[in-house]
Amino acid sequence: MSAEPAAPAPAPPRRPFFLLRGRFWVACLPWAWLLLFFLLPFVLIVNVSLSTPDLAVPPYVSPFSQPQAEGQPALPPAFNPDLGSYRRLGDEVADLARPGAELQYLRAFGNSLLLAALTTLCCLLVGYPFAWHIARSAEGTRNTLLMLVMLPFWTSFLLRVYAWMGLLDSSESGLINQALLALGVIDAPLQLLYNSGAVLVGMVYSYLPFMVLPLYANLVKLDMRLLEAARDLGARPWTAFVSITLPLSWRGIVAGSMMVFIPAVGEFVIPDLLGGGGVLMIGRRIWDDFGPNQDWPMAAAVAVVMVLLLIVPIMVFHRHGDRGDGASEAGP
């Protein structure tokens, strides 16, 4: 007797989209969030960057708008981008080789990238021992130590920067100068504020938690027996660190560095307050163009270029983020 062919299972009736299962909506949420709060604003910024500056409210003419004279029939929609802002940036690049060129945007870009890179490096050097120590502490004390790392977040960011100004104040009333004078280490107050050192200290101080937290999350998972195995096999402590700990915490290093580098590029409050505004940052340029200069297309163009400049290295990082890691991957 042959088996009866199974009747095709009736397809479940399609549900209207608003009755789709909860899983669908959960998956939707991050996409909707990104669409609404990242992609859409970014498209708007790109649109502004392609506009023509104008003395109006808002101070630009959209590339989609058509001049319409009184009484004339409306013209069909068209797209007339104004590349003037990008061209100004391009001209600066072309001017790079010319001595004495002003290069106000490129210089700002360079300053910001340099400061961000230095901040990231210092945060890494300071934050790695931090994270290592917390990850190696007894389980009970870890949360306390993490809390201490995050404690500064409970006060206003600006307040903390002003506190640094008080500390570094270059007059005799600056706290550090006071202490050094009282101890007789120095005779005259040191110029601590309004220089690049002060900016770097402020930056590292402000961004350190962003480095410590991802590094900690990574290092706490590191299997200590791997280090014991390395030691047992003859590795001195430094060799064990370089050949085992460092490659296995690569992802934490990348994550922490991005968490510091990316916001640090756009930072301009700390350089303004602690550096005295002497060094122009790209964030400051955007602020000025949107504000006092009323050149929205230019500011938008700089913002777009900045996003692109950041996204490309991140993608490269991500492509190589798996380097030196096999522990967390499933076998093929």
Partner 1 sequence: MSARTDSAPHFPAEPDYLRIEGISKRFDDALAVDNVTLGVRRREIFALLGSSGCGKSTLLRMIAGLERPTAGRIVLDGEDLAEVPAFRRPTNMMFQSYALFPHMSVAGNVAFGLRQERPRLTRAQIDARVAEMLELVQLQRYAARKPHELSGGQQQRVALARSLAKEPKLLLLDEPLAALDKKIRQHTQLELVSLIRRVGVTCILVTHDQEEAMTMASRIGVMSEGVLLQVGTPDEIYEHPSCRFTAEFIGETNLFHGRLEGGRLNGSDFPAPLAIAAEAMPAPGTEVWLSVRPERVVLGRQPPAAVNGNVPINAAQGEVDEIAYLGSHSVYHLRLGGGGRRMIASVPSAHWGEASAPARGERVWAWWLAPDGVVLTR
Q: Is 60 helix (H, G, I), strand (E, B) or coil?
A: strand
* C-beta of 68 vs 243, nearer to partner 1: 243
Which of these segments, 65-73, 95-103, 241-249, 277-285, binds partner 1 (CB under 8 A)? 241-249
**Token duo for residue 6:** 């199974």
Q: Which is nearer to partner 1, 69 or 233 (CB)?
A: 233
Q: 120 near 260, Cβ under 8 Å?
A: yes
Instruction: Count the Cβ atoms, other than its own, within 10 Å of residue 156.
Output: 9
Distance CA 317, CA 301 (A): 25
Q: Which residue among 41, 110, 129, 247 contacts partner 1 (CB under 8 A)?
A: 247
- DSSP class of residue 5 equals P
Question: Would you say how long the chain is, in residues?
Answer: 332
Residue 330 near partner 1 by CB under 8 A: yes
Say which amino acid occupies 24. F
Least distance between partner 1 and beta carbon 312 (Å): 26
Pick 235 or 305: Cβ nearer partner 1: 235
> Is residue 236 near partner 1 by the rule CB under 8 A?
yes
Instruction: Please report whether residue 235 would count as binding partner 1 according to CB under 8 A.
Output: yes
Position among 125, 229, 242, 315 found at the interface with partner 1 (CB under 8 A):
229
Distance CA 104, CA 247 (A): 40
User: How far from chain centre, in Å, is Cα 202?
Assistant: 16
Pairing relationship of beta strands 60-61 and 52-53 according to DSSP bridges: antiparallel
Using CB under 8 A as the binding rule, the residues of this chain from 308 to 327 that contact partner 1 are 324-327
How far apart are CB 218 and partner 1 at their closest, in Å? 13
Task: Give the interface with partner 1 as residue ranges (CB under 8 A).
Answer: 223, 225-226, 228-236, 239, 243-244, 247-248, 324-327, 329-332
